Amino acid sequence: SSGQSRGKAERMFRLMDEFLKNDPMSLQKDIIHHVEFTVARSRFSFDDFEAYQALSHSVRDRLIERWHDTHQHFKKKDPKRLYFLSLEFLMGRSLSNSVINLGIRDEYADALAQLGFEFEVLAEQEGDAALGNGGLARLSACQMDSLATLDYPAMGYGLRYQYGLFRQIIVDGYQHEQPDFWLNFGNPWEIERVQVSYSVKFYGTVEEKASNGVKYHVWVPGETVEAVAYDNPIPGYGTRNAINLRLWAAKPSGQYDLESYNTGDYINAVVNRQKAEIISNVLYPDDRSYQGKELRLKQQYFFVSASTQDIIRRFKDDHDNFDEFPDKVAFQINETQPSLAIVEVMRVLIDEERLAWKRAWEIVCKLFSFTSHSVNPEGLEKIPVDLLGSLLPRHLQIIYDINHNFMEELKKKIGQDYRRLDQMSIVAEGTVKTIRMANLSIICSHTVNGVSRLHYELLKTRVFKEFYDLWPQKFQYKTNGVTQRRWIVVSNPSLCSLISKWLGTEEWIRNVDLLVGLREHASNPVLQQEWRMVKKINKIRLAEYIETLTGVEVSLDAMFDVQVKRIHEYKRQLLNILGIIHRYYCIKNMNESDRKKVVPRVCIIGGKAAPGYEIAKKIIKLCHAVAEKVNNDADVGDLLKLIFIPDYNVSVAEMVIPGSDLSQHISTAGHEASGTSSMKFLMNGCLLLATADGSTVEIAEEVGSENMFLFGAKVHEVPQLREKATSEVPIQFVRVVRMVRDGYFGFKDYFKSLCDTVEDGKDFYLLGSDFSSYLEAQAMADREFVNEEKWTRMSILSTAGSGRFSSDRTMDEYSKLSWGIQPCKCPF
Ligand code: GL4
C-alpha cells in the first residue's frame, strides 16, 4: 500500500541522513576520507588543490543524496516536467554555490578551519565551467538555479564540451586565445553515467516502405555516434530539491563496422571510430554568427537527438501511448540552436512510433515554447539546405512537409500574397537555399517569448512582424532575471549579511520581492554608513586583484566605473573609450585649481572578442593603448586610470561586480535584446549608466530614472538618425576620433579601420550622435558621486528595486504562462 511504501521511503531518507551528517566533526572525517580514498593522497600531506578536491567530493556526496531523493520524488508524483534545451550553460564555479544552497556553508568553514584550511582559499582553487559564450549561456545557468529553488520538476539538457570558451590572454595589448581544457584536473561536479547512452544517427539515405498499405520511411544512417550522459546536480536553496543538468558527450558507437575490421586495417579502423568524439570537443566561440558549419549542425542534432530519446524513454516507462505526452512534457527551446528537437520529435512519432502525421503534428504543436534572444534579423540562424539534407536527410523531408502544410494553410488565410508567403516560408530561396530556423521554431511552438518588453515590441513590429500579424496570441515576453543566490549571497557575503540584518530576515534569498523593504531605510545614516563599508570592502578586494594583475595601483576614493561584457560594436565599448580619451584631454588642458575639482575615476573594461571579430579585437588593443598613455601620465595621477581586466568570466564577474560604483550598459537602442549583467550590478547597489535599451527600460521603471543615468537616442529615433546624411556630431567627438586617427596613442595604421567605423555617415551604431548626451550623463554621475549621502541613497534604492530582475520571477512566469508546470517539492 502507499502507506507502506511511504514508510519505507521515510526509513530510507532517515538512513541517508544518518549516513551523511553535517556537523563539523563528521564533515572533517568525510573530507579526510576523500583525501585518502578519492584523491588518493596521504592524510598527512596534501596541498590546497587536493584539499579542494576532497572537499568537493564531500559536497558532491551531499548533492547526490538530495538529487536521488528528488529524482525518486518526481518519479513517484509523475508531474508535468519541463525540459530546458540549450546549447550553452555558463555555470562558473560550483563549490561555494553548492554549500550555500545546501545550507551548510558555515559548517564546512568550521570543519576546514579545524583542519587548518580556509574555505575561501580552497574555493579559489576551482576553475570555471565555461560551456557558453555570454549572456545567453549565463541566463540558462541562473534559470536552472531558480527552477531548483522553486521546486519545479525541470531538467536541463546540453553538450559537455571538452574545451569551454577560450581563455583570453593579452600580449602587448592584443587578445590571444588559448584553449580551455577544463576537464584536465577532473570535474567532481559531474556524474558520468555510462549506462545512460543513446545512438545518434547521421547521413545516409531514406527508404520508403509500406506495411498493410500504409507508407512509412526508414532512415538508413551512414554514421552512428554514441551519446553518453554526464549529470550535474543543481541544488535549490532552502529546499531538498536538486534537479539535473544532463550534458551529452560523444563516444564511438558500440556498433562495429565489421567491414573495416575485416580488411585487416585494425589501427585505422580504431582511429576512425575515435573521430566520433570530435562532435562534443569544442564550444563555438561566437554566439551570433551562423556560418553554416557542418560540425556545428552536428553538435545541435547530436544533443537534440540524445535528449529527445531520453525524454521519450522516460515518458514511455509509465505510458503506453502518446495521448498524455503534452500533459507530461514541456520543451523549452533556448534560441534557435535546439530547434531541430521539433523535427526530431515529429520524426520519432511518425517513423518510429508510427503515429499518423496529423496526430503527431497535433502533439508537437502543444509541446514547444521558444525564446528568441536576438534582435537582428540578419543574425537569425539559416542552415544551407544542402548541408541539412546530407547530414539529416529525413529531417529535411519533414521540414519540407511542415512547410508545405503551413504554406497551404497560409494561402487560405492571406491569399496569393507572394511577398508575405516568401517571408514566412521556412525555406528561403536564393543563391544558397537555406532553412530559417526561427520560422520553423515559431510555426511549431505554442509560445514565442521575448526577453524584455522592448525586445517583445521589436519582435512584434520588426523581426517577426509577419508572424505576429498571423498569430498575435503566440507572442509574449518574460523579462530576463538573474539569481540573487549567486549574484548576492555567493559573491557579496558582506552585502548579504547587511541586507538580512536590516530586513530582519534571510527570507529575501528565496523571496526577493522583500528587498523593497530596504527603501524605507534608504536615508538612514546608520545603514548608509554600513552600506559604504561593505562597498569599501569589495573595492579593496577588487583593487588588490587589479594590482596583482596589472601592477597598477588604484585609489579607493575614485569612482570605480565598470563595463564588463562580450566585446561587440553594438555594445559600444568604443564609446566608453572615446569618452575616457575626452576626459583625459580635459584633464590635460586644465589648470591646477580646476584639476582639484575633478572626480577621480578608475575605468574598468573587460570582455572577450570572438576570435574572428577583427574590429572587436581592435577595440581591445585601443583600450590598452589608451591605458598605457593615461596610466603613465604624471599630470593625471589618480584622477584617471584605465584598466583592462583580462579573461573576463563568471568568477571574475563575482569579484568585479560587488566592487563597482557605476556600471555601463550603453548599447545603441534596439540592439540589446535584454542584457543581464545590468541586473547583477543593480542587485549589488551599483548605479547604472545606460541607454534605453533591452531591460534597462524596465529597470528604470522599477528604481526610478532619477536613480540612474540614462542617455542617448531612443529606439524610434535610431532609424532617422541613421538616415541623416551628416548628423550633428559634436566637436568633442571629432577631436577624440582624430587623436586616435593621428596616432596619439600609437598604432596609427592598425586603428584606421576602427576609426572608419565611426566616420560621419558610416557611424552605424551612432557613437557620434550619442556622444554629447553620453558626456552629460557621465558629468551627472560625477556630480552625484561627490554627494556621498545622495549616492548611497541611490545605491540602496538600486538594490531595493532589483527584486523584479530575479530569475525566480522569470521562471514563475514561464511556468504559469508557457510550460504549465507546478512545483513538486521533495519532502523531509
Ligand atoms: C543574448 C542577448 O544579446 C542579450 O541581450 C540577452 O540578455 C541574452 C539573454 O537573453 O541573450 N542573445 C545572444 S545570441 N546572446 C546574448 O547574450
DSSP 172: T
Q: Which atom of ligand 1 is nearest to the CA of 694?
A: 5
Rounded to the nearest whole angstrom, what is the distance from the C-alpha of residue 694 to the centroid of ligand 1?
10
* Cα dihedral 44→49→55→57 (10° resolution): -110
* Residues forming beta bridges with residue 689, ordered by sequence position: 664, 709
Residue 539 resides in a domain: no
Residue 534 resides in a domain: no
Q: Which three cell numbers stand for residue 756?
A: 572608419
pLDDT in tens, 234-278: 999 999 999 999 999 999 887 666 666 677 788 888 888 888 899
135 lines ligand 1 (CB under 6 A): yes
* Residues forming beta bridges with residue 690, ordered by sequence position: 665, 710
Regions of the chain short of the pLDDT cut 70? 1-2, 13, 15-19, 255-261, 725-726
Q: What percent of the chain is predicted at pLDDT more than 90?
A: 91
132 lines ligand 1 (CB under 6 A): no
288 lines ligand 1 (CB under 6 A): yes
CB 554 within 8 A of CB 543: yes
Sign of CA dihedral 753, 758, 762, 763: positive
| Closest CA to ligand 1's atom 8 | 136
Alpha-carbon distance of 475 to 372, in angstroms, equals: 11
Beta-sheet pairing, 447-450 with 382-384: unpaired
712 lines ligand 1 (CB under 6 A): no
For 7-70, the DSSP string reads HHHHHHHHHHHHHS--SHHHHHHHHHHHHHHTS---TT---HHHHHHHHHHHHHHHHHHHHHHH
| Closest CA to ligand 1's atom 15 | 136
| Closest CA to ligand 1's atom 11 | 136
Burial class of residue 655 (count of CB atoms within 10 Å of its CB; 0-12, 13-18, 19+): middle
When divided into structural domains, the chain yields a total of 3
Q: Which atom of ligand 1 is nearest to the CA of 480?
A: 10
- pLDDT score recorded for residue 224: 94
Q: Which three cell numbers stand for residue 165?
A: 570558451
Residues 19 and 141 placed together within one structural domain of the fold: no
Residues 707 and 589 placed together within one structural domain of the fold: yes
Rounded to the nearest whole angstrom, what is the distance from the C-alpha of residue 138 to the centroid of ligand 1?
9
Alpha-carbon distance of 209 to 205, in angstroms, equals: 13
139 lines ligand 1 (CB under 6 A): yes
DSSP 598: P
Boundaries of domain holding 68:
15-77+94-126
| Closest CA to ligand 1's atom 7 | 675
pTM: 0.96
675 lines ligand 1 (CB under 6 A): yes
680 lines ligand 1 (CB under 6 A): no
CATH number of the domain within which 775 lies: 3.40.50.2000
Residue 521 resides in a domain: no
The torsion angles phi and psi of 128, rounded to 5 degrees, stand at -80, 140
694 lines ligand 1 (CB under 6 A): yes
- pLDDT score recorded for residue 258: 64
Alpha-carbon distance of 35 to 613, in angstroms, equals: 45
Residue 518 resides in a domain: no
Indicate the SS3 state at residue 489.
helix
| Closest CA to ligand 1's atom 12 | 373
Residue 354 resides in a domain: yes
Rounded to the nearest whole angstrom, what is the distance from the C-alpha of residue 675 to the centroid of ligand 1?
6
Q: With CA atoms as reference, report the closest residue to 680 among 87, 63, 90, 84.
A: 90
CB 565 within 8 A of CB 676: no
Residues 144 and 205 placed together within one structural domain of the fold: yes
Rounded to the nearest whole angstrom, what is the distance from the C-alpha of residue 330 to the centroid of ligand 1?
23
Residues 299 and 415 placed together within one structural domain of the fold: yes
339 lines ligand 1 (CB under 6 A): no
Q: Which atom of ligand 1 is nearest to the CA of 134?
A: 17
Q: Which atom of ligand 1 is nearest to the CA of 451?
A: 10
Residues 566 and 434 placed together within one structural domain of the fold: no
Q: Please, what is the end-to-end C-alpha distance for the chain in angstroms?
A: 20
676 lines ligand 1 (CB under 6 A): yes
Alpha-carbon distance of 682 to 530, in angstroms, equals: 18
498: Cα within 13 Å, side-chain hemisphere: 24
Helices (H), 124-253: 135-149
Q: Write out 535-580 in H/E/C secondary structure.
A: HHHHHHHHHHHHHHHHCCCCCCCCEEEEEECCCCCCCCHHHHHHHH
Q: Which residues are catalytic?
A: 373, 565-566, 571, 676, 680
Q: Which three cell numbers stand for residue 123?
A: 574555493
Residue 548 resides in a domain: no
Indicate the SS3 state at residue 701.
helix
Residue 572 φ/ψ region, left for φ over 0, alpha for ψ in the -120 to 50 degree band, beta for the rest: left
Ligand 1 pocket test: pick from 674, 681, 691, 693 the residue with the most ligand atoms within 8 Å of its Cβ. Answer: 674
Alpha-carbon distance of 74 to 825, in angstroms, equals: 9
Alpha-carbon distance of 445 to 451, in angstroms, equals: 16
Q: Which three cell numbers stand for residue 87?
A: 546549447
Alpha-carbon distance of 201 to 222, in angstroms, equals: 7
Residues 104 and 135 placed together within one structural domain of the fold: no
372 lines ligand 1 (CB under 6 A): no
Q: Which atom of ligand 1 is nearest to the CA of 371?
A: 10
Rounded to the nearest whole angstrom, what is the distance from the C-alpha of residue 359 to the centroid of ligand 1?
35
CB 346 within 8 A of CB 361: yes
136 lines ligand 1 (CB under 6 A): yes
Rounded to the nearest whole angstrom, what is the distance from the C-alpha of residue 696 to the centroid of ligand 1?
14
Residues 29 and 172 placed together within one structural domain of the fold: no
Residues 121 and 87 placed together within one structural domain of the fold: no
Q: Which atom of ligand 1 is nearest to the CA of 675?
A: 7
Residue 40 resides in a domain: yes
693 lines ligand 1 (CB under 6 A): no
Alpha-carbon distance of 324 to 321, in angstroms, equals: 7
374 lines ligand 1 (CB under 6 A): yes
Rounded to the nearest whole angstrom, what is the distance from the C-alpha of residue 62 to the centroid of ligand 1?
34
Residue 2 resides in a domain: no
pLDDT in tens, 354-399: 999 999 999 999 999 999 999 999 899 999 999 999 999 999 999 9
Ligand 1 pocket test: pick from 378, 448, 451 the residue with the most ligand atoms within 8 Å of its Cβ. Answer: 451
Residue 186 φ/ψ region, left for φ over 0, alpha for ψ in the -120 to 50 degree band, beta for the rest: left
Rounded to the nearest whole angstrom, what is the distance from the C-alpha of residue 308 to the centroid of ligand 1?
25
Alpha-carbon distance of 534 to 683, in angstroms, equals: 14
Rounded to the nearest whole angstrom, what is the distance from the C-alpha of residue 773 to the centroid of ligand 1?
26
Q: Which atom of ligand 1 is nearest to the CA of 139?
A: 9
Q: Which three cell numbers stand for residue 573?
A: 565599448
Residues 157 and 237 placed together within one structural domain of the fold: yes
670 lines ligand 1 (CB under 6 A): no
Q: Which atom of ligand 1 is nearest to the CA of 672?
A: 5
- pLDDT score recorded for residue 267: 85
Rounded to the nearest whole angstrom, what is the distance from the C-alpha of residue 16 to the centroid of ligand 1?
42
Ligand 1 pocket test: pick from 86, 136, 479 the residue with the most ligand atoms within 8 Å of its Cβ. Answer: 136
Helices (H), 130-238: 135-149
Residues 655 and 722 placed together within one structural domain of the fold: yes
Residues 21 and 49 placed together within one structural domain of the fold: yes
DSSP 569: T
Alpha-carbon distance of 31 to 119, in angstroms, equals: 13
Alpha-carbon distance of 805 to 468, in angstroms, equals: 26
Q: In what order do the strands lie in the sheet with 382-384?
A: 382-384, 434-436, 427-428
Rounded to the nearest whole angstrom, what is the distance from the C-alpha of residue 136 to the centroid of ligand 1?
5
Rounded to the nearest whole angstrom, what is the distance from the C-alpha of residue 288 to the centroid of ligand 1?
9
Overall residue count recorded for the chain in this entry? 828
Residues 100 and 154 placed together within one structural domain of the fold: no
Q: Which atom of ligand 1 is nearest to the CA of 676?
A: 7
Q: With CA atoms as reference, report the closest residue to 463 among 382, 379, 378, 377.
A: 377
CB atoms within 10 A of CB 385: 18
